[in-house]
Amino acid sequence: MRPMICALVVAACLVAGSVPFPAHAQTPATPPTGGGPVDRALLEDVATASRILADQGVLDAFGHVSVRHPKNPERFLMSRSLAPALVTADDVLELDFAGNAVDARGRSLFLERFIHAEIYRRRPDVMAIVHSHSPAVIPFGVTTRPMVALYHNAAFLAGGVPIFDIRDKFGATDMLVRNGEIGRALAESLGDKPVVLMRGHGNVATGPSLQIAVFRAVYTEVNARLELQAIGIGGPITALTPEEGIKADMVNEQIVGRAWDLWKQRVGGK
Amino acid sequence: MRPMICALVVAACLVAGSVPFPAHAQTPATPPTGGGPVDRALLEDVATASRILADQGVLDAFGHVSVRHPKNPERFLMSRSLAPALVTADDVLELDFAGNAVDARGRSLFLERFIHAEIYRRRPDVMAIVHSHSPAVIPFGVTTRPMVALYHNAAFLAGGVPIFDIRDKFGATDMLVRNGEIGRALAESLGDKPVVLMRGHGNVATGPSLQIAVFRAVYTEVNARLELQAIGIGGPITALTPEEGIKADMVNEQIVGRAWDLWKQRVGGK
Amino acid sequence: MRPMICALVVAACLVAGSVPFPAHAQTPATPPTGGGPVDRALLEDVATASRILADQGVLDAFGHVSVRHPKNPERFLMSRSLAPALVTADDVLELDFAGNAVDARGRSLFLERFIHAEIYRRRPDVMAIVHSHSPAVIPFGVTTRPMVALYHNAAFLAGGVPIFDIRDKFGATDMLVRNGEIGRALAESLGDKPVVLMRGHGNVATGPSLQIAVFRAVYTEVNARLELQAIGIGGPITALTPEEGIKADMVNEQIVGRAWDLWKQRVGGK
Amino acid sequence: MRPMICALVVAACLVAGSVPFPAHAQTPATPPTGGGPVDRALLEDVATASRILADQGVLDAFGHVSVRHPKNPERFLMSRSLAPALVTADDVLELDFAGNAVDARGRSLFLERFIHAEIYRRRPDVMAIVHSHSPAVIPFGVTTRPMVALYHNAAFLAGGVPIFDIRDKFGATDMLVRNGEIGRALAESLGDKPVVLMRGHGNVATGPSLQIAVFRAVYTEVNARLELQAIGIGGPITALTPEEGIKADMVNEQIVGRAWDLWKQRVGGK
């Protein structure tokens, strides 16, 4: 039923001209309660993260980053539907796990906010999430060769990188995580790993902090590029073992600030 | 006969210095009637599209974008012969399907305007066309492995991407679509698809709007790069099925404005 | 004998600090006569060509471009020894086929000016030369797969691309064309072709005008990148035939100004 | 024992927020004696080298460059722990071979300064060192195909490029050269070569001067990219022989200033 209604709505939109995609704004009769006031600095960090990821080539016109609400673990903060390079602190909204905005004020939400909602729901350790179509990673989502950690900055990949194929449970779709049911299937594929690939779509990188999630999104992209090159050289690849991965990733988590500060400077932050 | 005349003309030009290529301006005794006044905003959009495509690496010094006249379906709007990055609204001319300008005022026309004319003639659903030598696509025009849709933003490719080889009908040529006859052969190869590759030359992307044609030109290039990488990884590639392609492309058509707005900002538009 | 002297000189230089490489300035007792006054516009064009080639990624800190003297075919114009991106009209010198400067005024000459001298000597049709280490081309100089023309803008390659291996005649060297004898061997390898690859070194692109030589240097680099990608796709490659190459290259020679004007704008020319 | 303490410290840091990684500052009771005053110009050169390497894509947020003290061969100069693109002359510290700073003044040191200390200790000919994760080189550190010199600017590689695998002596680690013992193992792998790869990590480039070490770091990265492409073309690769390598590298050492001056201009030096 829903696909048919969607098709009619889309057809109507095509006729009528460019209309923002109905964001399942689902403005319920009573909006969800907020998680409490948030430091503006955190909203600025979400915006900075978004612009960093665009500048680093992880996000293009699409994709998004969020952070769990610091006081209420059942809320998260995410930009309104906007190209990542353009996000500012004033664009950041608070949402609940059903994908409803606490205070939308007419702003459109990202269709795929359910990626974030369902991963936060399933993974209490995850404090930030990046969903991207980062280019070098996409080919690894449509092939069968496992992604491995080529070097220490990508150590968080050494424990394995699952692939979520929406077709397994949902047949032929438009590939998008457009509701909680699909989001839960994706979160299940992610399991306890930091990164999951989405066949024919992109990937999700998670972290215990915003800076770490951003770091992981960037270095997943770098690592994919390098793994492709290693495959091209030919022969066996001696990637990081799981144990090396755990140890090296502890260091990553310590030095992530140096990368953040450099990347932030490039996008005009201080 | 024609090749010999061409050679003599070229030789004369080489001697005389740099002379604009005779554009078959064919200023007929009576210029074609115009399709009616056009909003300056549309001319600016054509110029913006041209500059976006150059900025996105789809067009270099060569290539062009056009849009069908909003009031007269047998006319189209296209820049005069100029590097795409330099096009402004004042460079946009109106042409008919024979490739004649309504009001040339001495400006040179693109030699390959017949690509646009003949596709508009054959395909009433097409409202905009991009012809480019976008680099990552060119190798797919000289090899036999089919281009597939690696991910949802390239969903419009999932139905198949034909290749036009000018040699099939015309033997050894200079590879250019320099008249209506070759243009019609190209349009026939395109068939009902959104994109056609041109062996040893480039490609054509079409769309039901200017923004969609530009989006498709950009994501055809991105997709080609990613498909090459997936081939490099080795093994089977699970690309989008035709059904996934249709569904995902409906979404692309809805969100194309977000990409357009971002790309437009980069080239100085508002 | 000479290698030993060279080694001693180099050792002395290493001890003494950074000293400009002795340029075989060979200021003969009587400098060669000049070819006559040259329009400053031509000197500016040589400088512009140099900066274009650096901007287009063909030249890095090394490499050079020259043009034959418009009035005396036994003289040519080339920058003093300087990174190509930094060349201005005042850096352009006049040299003879022995590699001597007409009016050096203490300025260092490029060690490999013999590449230019000997090709001008052998090829009266060549009016401009670019020597570069353009990156995508280098791998084709150390492998055995022929370079072919992937598309029409690289049509000038369709007739074949020879490889010069300095070791054939000269054994183990420092790979440089440091005198007329090596230059003549290189010119012999070039034969009547527009481009020759230099094993373990770089390439030379020639043309009947400065703009065409620059165009060819740029599109040889682009073509190399695309050919590598086509090889990666696998299977047969349907490149331009020699006949298609001749025809398409006539068009290139006509439209070269459009590329030149665009590239010139990027490097601050008008 | 140490890994467990590390894990506890890291866990504490994670709870407490972002804390600079304990740099083994080992402020001994008596700081080491300095090597004597150093020209500010040299400190500026170290900073310039760092910024050049970031600009050239060799260093990203990580990595470092150092130079041996001109008067005391048992001291070296290196930036405090900072992203390479941000280093200025005031950030440059003096260290001894135990990795202690002469005058830290509270500034954090690079964890992996032991790479530099131990190579200076073992190799009296080395006057400058670059440690990077330069991307195209990393795949060669995890595969078995030897790195060769594709062309003359990378001639210094023609004598062979060893790989250091930390696991051989130290089992599963975090991949970092965090003390002198590991540094000595790395220096032993380097042997008498100019460059050593570090499996799952990056590489080290050395030179008899700062400009040469920087040149080598840059051209090792370029060469890696080109070797991958040559492998992709297929068939035998005719790289530089060891004899060609020695001869060509003498020339590199003479013309290194031209590259340095160009690169320095790009990062705002004069």
pLDDT of residue D187: 98
How much is the average pLDDT of B238-243?
98
The pLDDT tens digits for A93-145 are: 999 999 999 998 899 999 999 999 999 999 999 999 999 999 999 999 999 99
Mutate to test the interface with B, among A8, A79, A142 (most CBs of B within 10 A): A142
B247: three-class secondary structure by DSSP: helix
Reported confidence tier of residue B86, pLDDT bands at 50, 70, 90: very high
CA-based max dimension of chain C: 60
What is chain A's alpha carbon radius of gyration, rounded to the nearest angstrom? 18
**A15 has a pLDDT exceeding 60:** no
Residue B214 pLDDT more than 80?
yes
Of D165, D167, D200, the CB nearest to A150: D200
Q: How confident is the model at residue B31 (pLDDT cuts 50, 70, 90)?
A: confident
pLDDT confidence of residue B30: 77
- C226 and B133 within 8 Å at the Cβ level: the answer is no
Please name the chains neighbouring D, where neighbouring means 3+ C-beta pairs under 8 angstroms: A, C
Rounded to an integer, what distance in angstroms lies between the CA atom of residue B182 and that of residue A255? 60
Confidence of residue B270 (pLDDT cuts 50, 70, 90): low
Per-residue pLDDT, A28: 61
Q: What are the tokens at B248?
A: 């995902």
B232 has a pLDDT exceeding 80: yes
Which of C139, C142, C174 is the closest to D248 by Cβ?
Answer: C174
Give the residue-averaged pLDDT of A171-195: 98
B133 confidence band (pLDDT: 50, 70, 90): very high
How far off is chain D from C75, nearest CA to CA, in Å?
26
* DSSP β-bridge partners for residue A164: A198
pLDDT tops 60 at residue C94: yes
Per-residue pLDDT of chain D (270 residues; tens, 9 = 90+): 455 554 554 455 444 443 333 344 445 667 898 889 999 999 999 999 999 999 999 999 999 999 999 999 999 999 999 999 999 999 999 999 999 999 988 999 999 999 999 999 999 999 999 999 999 999 999 999 999 999 999 999 999 999 999 999 999 999 999 999 999 999 999 999 999 999 999 999 999 999 999 999 999 999 999 999 999 999 999 999 999 999 999 999 999 999 999 999 999 875
Closest-CA residue in chain B for A231? B233
List C-alpha distances in Å: A73 to A25, A89, A93, A109: 21, 20, 15, 20
- Among D112, D118, D221, D227, which one carries the catalytic annotation? D112
> Is residue A166 scored above 70 in pLDDT?
yes
Contacts of B198 (CB under 8 A, 6+ apart): B141, B163, B164, B166, B175, B177, B186, B204
Instruction: Identify whether the C-beta of residue D240 lies closer than 8 Å to the C-beta of residue D251.
Output: no
With CA atoms as reference, report the closest residue to C94 among C115, C118, C113.
C113
User: Sorting pLDDT into bands at 50, 70 and 90, what band is C130?
Assistant: very high
Looking at residue A59, its amino acid is L
pLDDT reading at A63 higher than 70: yes
Task: Report pLDDT for D13.
Answer: 45
Q: For residue D262, give how far its alpha carbon lies from the nearest alpha carbon of chain C (Å).
A: 7
The reported pLDDT for the residue numbered D30 is 78
- Across the interface, whether the CB atoms of D142 and A211 are under 8 A apart is answered no
Would residue B112 show up in a list of annotated catalytic residues for this protein?
yes
What is the predicted pLDDT for the residue at A18? 39
Nearest beta carbon to residue D145 from set A222, A235, A247: A235
Reported as a single tens digit per residue, the pLDDT across B167-200 is 999 999 999 999 999 999 999 999 999 999 999 9
C-beta atoms of D238 and C199 within 8 A: yes
Indicate whether C207 pLDDT > 50. Answer: yes
Of A215 and C268, the one with more pLDDT: A215
Q: Which of B44, B74, B94, B112 is catalytic?
A: B112
> Measured between CB atoms, which of A153, A250, A254 is closest to D133?
A153
More confident residue, A10 or B56: B56
Give the contacts of C71 (CB within 8 A, at least 6 positions apart).
C35, C36, C38
pTM of the model: 0.91
Pick from D213, D80, D20, D188: nearest CA to D134? D213
Average pLDDT, integer, range A212-237: 98
pLDDT category, B28, cuts 50, 70, 90?
low
Asked if the model's pLDDT at residue C13 lies above 50, the reply is: no
Q: Does B173 contact C257 at a Cβ distance shorter than 8 Å? A: no
Which pLDDT belongs to residue A20?
A: 33
Question: Distance (Å, rounded) from C-alpha C200 to C-alpha D145?
Answer: 19
Interface test with D, best of A153, A252, A260 (most D CBs within 10 A): A153
What are residue D32's phi and psi, to 5 degrees?
-65, 155
% of chain B surpassing 90 pLDDT: 85
How many CB pairs lie under 8 A apart between chains C and D?
116
Sorting pLDDT into bands at 50, 70 and 90, what band is C270?
low
Say if residue A199's pLDDT is above 60.
yes
Q: Span C251-255, mean pLDDT?
A: 96
Check pLDDT > 60 for residue B42: yes
- Predicted complex ipTM: 0.89
- Cβ-nearest to B238 among A13, A135, A199: A199
Q: Which of C3-17, C152-166, D138-152 is predicted with the least confidence, judged by mean pLDDT?
A: C3-17
Mean pLDDT for A2-6 is 52
CB contact under 8 A, B238 and A201: no
User: In a mutagenesis test of the B interface, which of A51, A175, A179, A226 is the best target, namely the one with the most B β-carbons within 10 Å?
Assistant: A175
User: Which partners does chain A have (≥3 C-beta pairs < 8 Å)?
Assistant: B, D
Q: Quick one: pLDDT at residue A270?
A: 55
Q: Is the pLDDT of residue B206 over 50?
A: yes
Q: From the list A82, A139, A200, which residue is nearest B233 (CB)?
A: A139
In whole angstroms, give the CA distance from residue D63 to residue D203.
10
B184 touches C136 (CB < 8 A): no
Collect all residues of chain A within an 8 Å Cβ-Cβ radius of residue D175. Answer: 151-152, 155, 240, 244, 247-248
CA distance B111 to chain C (A): 10
- The pLDDT, as a whole number, for residue A220 is 98
| DSSP-based three-state secondary structure for B7 | helix
Q: Which chain C positions have a beta carbon within 8 Å of D229's beta carbon?
A: 136, 139, 228
Kindly report the length of chain D: 270
Query: Under an 8 Å CB criterion, which residues of D touch C?
Result: 149-153, 155, 208, 211, 222, 225-227, 229-230, 232-241, 243-244, 247-248, 250-251, 253-259, 261-263, 265
Percent of chain A with pLDDT over 90: 85
* pLDDT score of C26 more than 70: no
pLDDT at D8: 53
Find chain D residues with C-beta within 8 A of A250's C-beta.
6-7, 10, 174
Q: Reduced to 3 states, what is the DSSP secondary structure of residue A127?
A: coil
Confidence class for position A248, pLDDT limits 50, 70, 90: very high
